[in-house]
Amino acid sequence: MIRPAALVAALAATASSFAITPSFAQDTQTAIFAGGCFWCVESDFDHVDGVTSTVSGYIGGTNENPTYQNHSGHVEAVRVTYDPSKVSYDELLTVFWHSIDPTDGGGQFCDRGHSYTTAIFATDQEQLQKAKATKADVEKQLGSVATEIAMAPTFWEAEGYHQDYYLKNPVKYKFYRTGCGRNKTVERVWGDDAFKGIKDAIG
């Protein structure tokens, strides 16, 4: 005879073996974009629904463990983690293109030099093909596009003081972004489509 306590335990064990993972559980995915100053790129993508985190860093150079003082050959970039059930990679590409000046091959806005040039670093072949397709579309709209598209090499996280800079130093950040002419240039290049896909005011 099975005692009541033992029966309850047996039923509980049976039930646990049929536990169902919630259908809404979804892994996040990663995208990497270089769009000039990583403070600004981070701020822009943090204002996109479905983006769960952003990290500023360096990518594309040959030296390991680059720093802000020593990242020759690298570009400033942001690693974007997102929930694909809320925002697609295609939508992130739209945000990226419409928050930079892709025609500028010498940097972005007041920041000049290779470190501030624009690029999309794909994390898989599907991202690579989508990025190339959108670049072709942008070229039809704007003409020559200087933005590089490549598979992502190692992404090196930037120093802690660069992370969430716009939140930690809002006054200095606002002064920099305005003084650098980022918003005005993007609005001139893209018109009504400037900062497409980004919610709230860009600051």
Non-local (6+) Cβ contacts of 65 within 8 A are 156
The dihedral sign for the CA sequence 88, 89, 94, 99: positive
Cα separation, 32 vs 150, in Å, equals 10
- Give the phi and the psi of residue 17 in degrees, each rounded to 5: -70, -15
Exposed / middle / buried, residue 20 (Cβ in 10 Å: 0-12, 13-18, 19+): exposed
β-pairing, 75-82 vs 29-35, is: antiparallel
β-pairing, 118-122 vs 29-35, is: antiparallel
Which entry of 37, 40, 110, 180 is annotated as an active-site residue?
37
Cα separation, 63 vs 91, in Å, equals 32
Active site (annotated) includes residue 110: no
Cα separation, 145 vs 135, in Å, equals 7
Task: Tell me the sheet residues that pair with 150.
Answer: 121
CB atoms within 10 A of CB 107: 19
The residues annotated as belonging to the active site are 37
